[in-house]
């Protein structure tokens, strides 16, 4: 008979639960379950014994039971346990890359299915084998390096991965370059870090010259090997294409030392195309030439623009007058190694004057004055001497911008509006480099941006599109004189409608044109009604 003790502070139910928990704890402790390991890719025969569970309280009417993923859950039947001996076996080959770890539970029951011991965790780890090759994330990699870059410049990074166990050498990769095409000027122009995969330059900067290299693109065959690069390691391959990009290291050179053209009176438009050679890459801004007139056009009768298709300079006439030029120059060529500007001096005879008005000239103005002198000795002697007077420039002219008008499409995708330049009637050092800035009007920086191109030119850009209208963009242009002179000016920007490669600015300009025409007619009518107009003046009254 079973004796039940009733305590005033305990219930029969609680006492039974406590005894059950104590039995369960002792049951779990009585099962000895070692961790088990199974190499992947094993071959038949199967099943293979991988371990054994030991029970200290095992009796004849007790049996072992195995549950969990790989036993009674998918993938079912991978592992099994001998119901009487506790031996655990694997029934087929495993793939660590599919499942690297199995978590099972083992217990013992009596013949009626009542739990006796357990459940206790049974962990099975799949041992990795080197059965996966390194694989690059991309089959082809592309990188760029600027010509003339210093040795050791990082070009790009190659990255491969290995599906094997990252905690073993099976997934430890090493990188090498096995081939470079072409192999000139050196077969070892680049180096790859064996552990990180960084490709760097090893060629000297002066040899990394885009204009002298046999090609601007080099192909490298990169191999990644596992097992830390040992001979038994598996390999993967990828291609790296490296492009040598251009820097602006070649100045444009005119194809002729002299260009000639003639223009009829009253004609306008392009009169001559100036051609230049530039060894830089035509697909880059380093090749694009920017032309400017620095001398010989004091009245600004000409302008020059760049033909974007062929890089030629288009010299155009903007206004023509009755002008005749005649020069007779006889000189011996002189070169000054310290100056880029070549000036020829014409000696003058004796000059008698009270004052001189000097215009700006790109060469310093030079006068030779002949001075007679007489000695006070006996007999007196006479002779002549020469006084050379050089008039130096002072910064007395404010710079100005050109062009003064620009046009842009209201829905333009290219937000570059115009390239503007600075001019100054002074000479160096009172001219460029010019500083071109937005005016002080609030909010301009939210719509406009100025990017410096060189000492004389800057790019005007829009930060967002504008509606069709005329805009006056305030600009401040400052020269490099001492002290510098600034000029507050405006650039007229016409935002026009563009359809099918045609720009329509008529609406923005028609109002101004009509007002000017009306004003001209009114002034002409007034002038014809007053008698003080000189007789030689003829009017047509309307």
Tens digits of per-residue pLDDT, 96-140? 999 999 999 999 998 888 999 989 999 999 999 999 999 999 999
What is the model's pTM? 0.47
Q: List pLDDT tens digits, range 130-176.
A: 999 999 999 999 999 999 999 999 999 999 999 999 999 999 999 99
pLDDT of 312 reads 87
Radius of gyration (C-alpha) of the chain in whole angstroms: 46
pLDDT of 92 reads 96
Domain 135-245: state its class. Answer: mainly beta
pLDDT of 526 reads 57
* pLDDT-wise least confident of 61-75, 103-117, 245-259, 437-451: 245-259
Query: Are domains 12-127 and 400-504 of this chain identical in fold?
Result: yes
Higher pLDDT: 128 or 27? It is 128
The winner for highest mean pLDDT among 164-173, 350-359, 408-417 is 164-173
- Would you say 386 and 370 are in contact if contact means Cβ atoms under 8 Å apart? yes
Q: Is the pLDDT of residue 377 over 60?
A: no
Q: List pLDDT tens digits, range 260-302.
A: 887 776 778 888 888 888 777 676 677 677 888 888 888 888 8
Q: List pLDDT tens digits, range 313-342.
A: 888 888 655 444 444 444 434 433 334 444
pLDDT of 179 reads 97
Fold of 12-127: Immunoglobulin-like (2.60.40)
Domain residue ranges of the chain, discontinuous segments joined by +: 12-127, 135-245, 267-320, 400-504
Q: Rounded distance, CA 222 to CA 155, Å?
A: 14
* pLDDT-wise least confident of 19-28, 503-512, 521-530: 19-28
Instruction: Please count the other Cβ atoms lying within 10 Å of the Cβ belonging to residue 273.
Output: 13
Give one DSSP letter per residue of 39-69, joined into a string: ETTPPSS--EEEEE-EETT--TTEEEEEEEB
Partners of 46 in the beta sheet?
Answer: none
pLDDT of 376 reads 36
Of residues 391, 392, 372, 393, the one with CA closest to residue 383: 372
pLDDT of 291 reads 86
Q: What are the structure tokens assigned to 190, written together? A: 């680049």
Give one DSSP letter per residue of 297-321, joined into a string: -TT--EEEEE-TTT--EEEEES---
- Would you say 200 and 152 are in contact if contact means Cβ atoms under 8 Å apart? yes
Higher pLDDT: 469 or 60? It is 469
Tokens 């002034």 belong to 523
Of residues 458, 446, 453, the one with CA closest to residue 406: 458
pLDDT of 158 reads 95
- Reported confidence tier of residue 391, pLDDT bands at 50, 70, 90: low
Q: List pLDDT tens digits, range 462-479.
A: 998 888 899 999 999 999
pLDDT of 129 reads 95
Instruction: Please count the other Cβ atoms lying within 10 Å of the Cβ belonging to residue 203.
Output: 19
- Would you say 494 and 409 are in contact if contact means Cβ atoms under 8 Å apart? no
Domain 400-504: state its class. Answer: mainly beta
Higher pLDDT: 309 or 536? It is 309
Higher pLDDT: 414 or 201? It is 201
């Amino acid at each position: 008979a079973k004796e039940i003790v009733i305590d005033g502070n305990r219930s029969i139910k609680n006492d039974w639960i406590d005894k059950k928990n104590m039995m369960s704890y002792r049951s779990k402790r009585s099962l000895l379950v070692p961790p088990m390991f199974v190499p992947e890719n094993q071959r038949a025969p199967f099943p293979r014994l991988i371990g054994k569970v030991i029970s200290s309280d095992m009796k004849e009417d007790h049996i072992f039971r195995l549950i969990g993923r790989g036993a009674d859950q998918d993938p079912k039947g991978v592992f099994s346990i001998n119901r009487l001996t506790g031996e655990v076996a694997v029934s087929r080959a495993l793939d660590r890359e599919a499942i690297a770890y199995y978590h099972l539970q083992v217990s013992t029951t009596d013949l009626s299915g009542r739990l006796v011991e357990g459940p206790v965790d049974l962990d099975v780890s799949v041992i990795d084998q080197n059965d996966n090759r390194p694989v690059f994330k991309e089959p082809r990699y592309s990188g760029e390096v600027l010509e003339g870059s210093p040795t050791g410049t990082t070009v790009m990074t190659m990255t491969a991965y290995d599906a094997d166990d990252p905690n073993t050498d099976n997934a430890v990769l090493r990188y090498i370059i096995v081939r470079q095409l072409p192999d000139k000027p050196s077969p070892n122009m680049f180096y790859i870090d064996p552990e990180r995969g960084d490709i760097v330059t090893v060629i000297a900067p002066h040899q990394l010259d885009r204009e002298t290299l046999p090609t601007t693109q080099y192909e490298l065959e990169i191999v990644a090997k596992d097992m830390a690069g040992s001979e038994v390691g598996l390999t993967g391959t990828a291609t790296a294409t490296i492009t040598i990009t251009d820097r602006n290291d070649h100045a444009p050179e005119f194809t002729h030392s002299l260009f000639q053209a003639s223009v009829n009176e009253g004609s306008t438009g392009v009169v001559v195309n100036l051609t230049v050679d530039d060894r830089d890459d035509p697909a880059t801004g380093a090749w694009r030439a920017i032309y400017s007139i620095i001398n010989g056009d004091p009245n600004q009768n000409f302008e020059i623009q760049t033909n974007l298709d062929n890089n030629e300079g288009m010299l155009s006439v903007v206004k023509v007058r009755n002008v005749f030029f005649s020069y007779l120059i006889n000189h011996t060529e002189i070169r000054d190694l310290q100056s880029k500007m070549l000036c020829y001096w014409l000696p003058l005879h004796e000059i008698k004057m009270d004052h001189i008005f000097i215009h700006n000239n790109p060469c310093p103005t030079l006068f030779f004055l002949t001075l007679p002198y007489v000695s006070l000795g006996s007999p007196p002697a006479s002779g002549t001497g020469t006084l050379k007077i050089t008039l130096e420039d002072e910064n007395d002219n404010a710079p100005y911008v050109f062009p003064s008008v620009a046009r842009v499409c209201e829905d333009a995708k290219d937000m570059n509006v115009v390239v503007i330049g600075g001019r100054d009637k002074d000479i160096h050092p009172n001219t460029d480099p010019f500083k071109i800035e937005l005016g002080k009007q609030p909010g301009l920086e939210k719509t406009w941006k100025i990017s410096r191109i060189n000492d004389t030119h800057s790019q005007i850009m829009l930060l967002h599109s504008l509606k069709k209208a005329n805009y006056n963009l305030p600009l401040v242009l400052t020269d490099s004189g001492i002290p510098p002179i600034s000029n507050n000016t405006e650039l007229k920007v016409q935002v026009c409608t563009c359809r099918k490669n045609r720009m329509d600015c008529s609406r923005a300009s028609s109002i101004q044109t009509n007002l000017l025409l009306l004003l001209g007619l009114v002034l002409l009518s007034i002038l014809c009604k007053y008698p003080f107009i000189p007789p030689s003046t003829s009017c047509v009254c309307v």
